[in-house]
Structures are given as structure tokens and as C-alpha cells.
Amino acid sequence: MANSANAKESKEEIFRKMEETAHRLMEEYEFVDATTPTIARGYTRAHGDYAFRVVPTGEPIPDATFVSAVYSTQPQGCDPAAGTAECILHSSAAKRELLAYPGYPTPLPHAPGGAGAAQACPPYRIVNIPHKGLGMVAARDLAFGEVITNERPLLVAPQYILLDFIRWLRAPSGWENQQVALFETQRFYRMAYERMRGEDKVAYLQLYNAHAHDGSGPLLGVQRTNSFLMFELQGVPYCGVFKDASRMNHSCSPNTIRRIDRTSLSMQMFAARSIKAGEEITSSYCDPLLPSAARQAKLAPYGVRCTCSGCLKPVESDKNRHRINSTKDAVPAIIQWAGSPGLPEGLLLGPSVEVLRLIEAEEQEANEVHERVLYHLALIHDALELMGAPRPEGAGYRGKWMQLTALDRARSFGALAKYKEDREKVRAAVLSRRRA
């Protein structure tokens, strides 16, 4: 007992020291924001957005080094019932890029009445999960491809802490620099938080914070615990924090597929396989095809020790996942096989079916390799049909691939066009084989 009390004291002592350091260093600097009348250069105000910067007291900052952030509530005038996201953008160019996305802005896809009845009557409940805090469970049986969440983020912000200003902050050590970076980033977040609707403020602060004691501050702590990567702007990755989707716990064998819809600034989670009522709905916080030990190392900062079937039987699972991960684009090989009379019918079919079987055994249906393998199988079966050796499974593979690509409305049109093109190449190859 005495030992654990000492350990607790020393941990608290460390946190107190971290906070003191951040405060001491920040006393040396003056914080200027858009509401401060003294700000002169570079201050922008347009359409309710504003920029701010941090400057050291009494020192002019060269233009090239000042820190600014553009705050914007997005999308504007679209579908107010679906809410808006408060965006912290690292430059005006980033905002221009966000707004210039083709088709932007649109209402959420899967509007109520369609699949998005998900929102009016969610097919999930948020409940306590033993040893995991809150989590999401299926409120009813869900079929492959069903919409689970269909949500706009509460907050969009750069994935990494904006460290630029540390270049001119003369903190004595890397650790102190880090504390100041966390402290300052929290201030960036405060601006965005103040702009949120009341109910969104409450929802945001109710989210779990796994960074409560590392100097992050409550707003940044929630972002670091709950954000999903959404897109890049000017080469900078941006993440979103979601009221409901952020309640999903981790599994290395997740049962959801995640898609970002940029035209509506939203994210959808779909069932990656059948999910039974009461089953936990999960997402993966790391690359699930990494070896188990590497996954556990990536999950440690989230306080997650995964107990999915892959993590419980790592030797066999690592081997299977390595095999899945080795599946490369086989379209050129399929075309070559389709045009070569000497090659057996089952040459490429067998290995593709084997990988599909491993994907199902390892519950990796959410992985992009799943879509790739289904695509290979669709083309192989197209070739077999043209060779006069049709197999009944072909339509199933083709249908499932089409269902998967349709989940991403930005990509589905191009994917179908590529399929037509590749199928044409396969047809030409089979014809040349016949002539040979």
C-alpha cells in the first residue's frame, strides 16, 4: 500500500511540475487574439471567421514566423439539423481548399428515410462496456453494408499539435517546449470550443479524455483521445472528433468500415459484416495487419490492451495477417493469365479464394485488401465466363465488390469505370487466347 501511495504522489508531483512549467513559461509571453484591439498586422476577419496569433511580449515577430489559425464553422447554410463542425485551419489556403472541394457543401449522405434513418433511430446504443468505459453496441441485427453512424464532426483540427511557434520560444528543454506546445494548443482549441453550440460544447466535454494528466488540457485531451483522420489540407492531415462515432472502442478485428464524405464534411461507419444485436461495434485505432506486438505498442498510449481473437492467438494470426497484407494488385497477372492458353483455369482463382478465406477468418472485412481481393475474384470469374467455364460464386463476388465501392460516393464512379476498362482488357485477352 505504502509503495502505491508513494507512486501516486510522485506521479502527481510530476503533473504539478509540468503545469507549473507551462504556466511559468507562458507568463513570459502575451496572448493576442482577434478580440484584442492592439493587434495590427495580418489580422483577418471574413464571414465570421477570424485568425489569431501568439506573440512574445514587447517583441516584434517577423511575418514568416507568427502563428495563426483560421476558425471556421462548416458547412454554411446546408443542412442545419445535421449540425456544423468547428474547424481550426492552419492557413487561409487550407480553408480555401476545404471550400473548393468539388460539390462542397452538400447535406449528409443517406438522408433520413433512406439508409440514414440510422440518425433518426440509431441502430446502436452507447452503454458501459466492462474494462473499456463507454462503448457502442448494436441495437438490432445489422447486415453487411448497413449505415451505423452518419455524422458531422463537432471539431475538425490538424492531426498534430501546431509546433511552429516553438521555433521562437526559448524554452530551456525539449520537455518544456512540449509542455508549452500542449498549453498553447489548448488555447487554439478554446477558441473553437467557444464558437460551438451549447449542446455541442456539452457533448464534446463529455467525451473520454485519456490525456487528462500530461499537460494537454481538457479540450486538446479529448481531441487526442477521440479523433479520426479525415483528409489533408495543404498537405496537413486533419482529424474530426465525433459525438457518437468517437464512442467506438478499438478492436484489431473491427466490424465497421469507415468512410469520409468530404462534400458533406461528414463520416459514415458501415457494418463490415453481419453484426448481432447486443454485439459491440468497434473500429481499429491502428493498422490491424501489423504484427500483434507492433499493434499493442501503438495502442499503449490509448490505454488499450486489445483482447480480440487475433491478439489472443498472435502466432497463427500474425502469419495469416502477413499473408493478407502481401496481396498486391493482381490485375496485370489476371489479364496475362486470361490470354495464355497453356495456363490452368484455377491458377489465380485458388490463391485469391484462399486470401478471402483468411480475411474472413481474421475478421478483416473492413480492410482495403478485402475490396482488392473481391475485385480480383470478379475479374477472374468474368474471364472464366468468357472461357465458357462459368462458376456460380462469380456473381456474389462481383455484387459484394460493388456494394463495398458504393459506400464511398467520391470513389465509386471512378472504381466502376476502372472495372469496365479492366473487364474489357480481360475480354480482349480471352479472345486472343481463343484465336491462339
* Residue with grid cell 499473408, as numbered in its chain: 323
Ranked by CB distance to ligand SAM, the top (closest) residue is 133
Residue 249 beta carbon to ligand SAM: minimum distance, rounded to whole angstroms: 3
Give the separation between CA 342 and CA 109, rounded to whole angstroms. Answer: 48
User: Looking at beta carbons only, is 206 or 432 nearer to ligand SAM?
Assistant: 206
Of 166 and 203, the one with the shorter C-beta distance to ligand SAM is 203
Strands (E), 390-436: none
* Strand order from edge to edge, sheet including 124-129: 124-129, 133-138, 280-283, 249-250
Task: Give min distance, CB of 248 to ligand SAM, in A.
Answer: 6
Q: What are the b/e assignments for 285-301, b being 16+ CB within 10 Å?
A: bbebbbebeebbeebee
Q: Crossing angle of helices 218-226/174-195, nearest 10°?
A: 90
Of how many residues is the chain composed? 436
DSSP string over 350-389: HHHHHHHHHHHHTT-TTSHHHHHHHHHHHHHHHHHHHTT-
Look up cell 469496365; give the residue: 420
65, 167 Cβ separation under 8 angstroms:
yes
CB of residue 306 vs ligand SAM: minimum separation in angstroms?
5
In the complex with ligand SAM, the residue whose CB is nearer, 362 or 422, is: 362
Comparison of 289 and 404: residue with beta carbon closer to ligand SAM: 289
* Interatomic CA distance for residues 79 and 263, integer angstroms: 12
Compute the least distance from the CB of residue 134 to ligand SAM, in Å. Answer: 3
Chain centroid to CA 82: how far? 20
Q: How far is the CB of 247 from ligand SAM (least distance, A)?
A: 5
Q: Burial level of 254, CB count in 10 A (0-12/13-18/19+)? A: buried
Nearer to ligand SAM, 247 or 409 (CB): 247
Q: Smallest gap, in angstroms, from Cβ of residue 208 to ligand SAM?
A: 3
- Closer of 47 and 131 to ligand SAM (Cβ): 131
Q: For binding to ligand SAM (CB under 6 A), which residues are involved?
A: 131-135, 207-208, 210, 225-226, 246-247, 249-250, 302-304, 306
- Angstrom distances, CA of residue 198 to CA of 195, 343, 409: 9, 66, 32
Cβ proximity to ligand SAM, 303 vs 414, nearer residue: 303
Residue 50 backbone zone (phi > 0: left; psi -120 to 50: alpha; other: beta): beta
Rounded least distance, CB 192 to ligand SAM, Å: 19
What's the closest the beta carbon of residue 194 comes to ligand SAM, in angstroms? 23
Which of 241/386 has CB closer to ligand SAM? 241
Is 304 or 335 the residue whose CB approaches ligand SAM more closely? 304
Decide whether 135 or 240 has the Cβ nearer to ligand SAM: 135
> Measured over all CA atoms, what is the biggest interatomic distance in the chain, rounded to whole angstroms?
86
DSSP string covering 178-234: HHHHHHHHHHHHHHHHHHS-HHHHHHHHHS--TTTTTT--HHHHHHHHHEEEEEEET
Q: Considering the complex, what minimum distance in angstroms separates the CB of residue 309 from ligand SAM?
A: 13
Instruction: Supply the minimum distance, in Å, between the C-beta of residue 186 and ligand SAM.
Output: 18
Q: Which one, of 360, 354, 363, lies nearest residue 309 by Cα?
A: 363
Cα separations in angstroms, 262 against 119, 153, 232: 19, 12, 11
What is the spatial distance between Cα 226 and Cα 246, in angstroms, rounded to a whole number?
5
Q: Which is nearer to ligand SAM, 230 or 386 (CB)?
A: 230
Smallest separation, CB 137 to ligand SAM (Å): 12
Least Å from the CB of residue 285 to ligand SAM:
7
Instruction: For ligand SAM, give the closer residue by CB, 226 or 327.
Output: 226
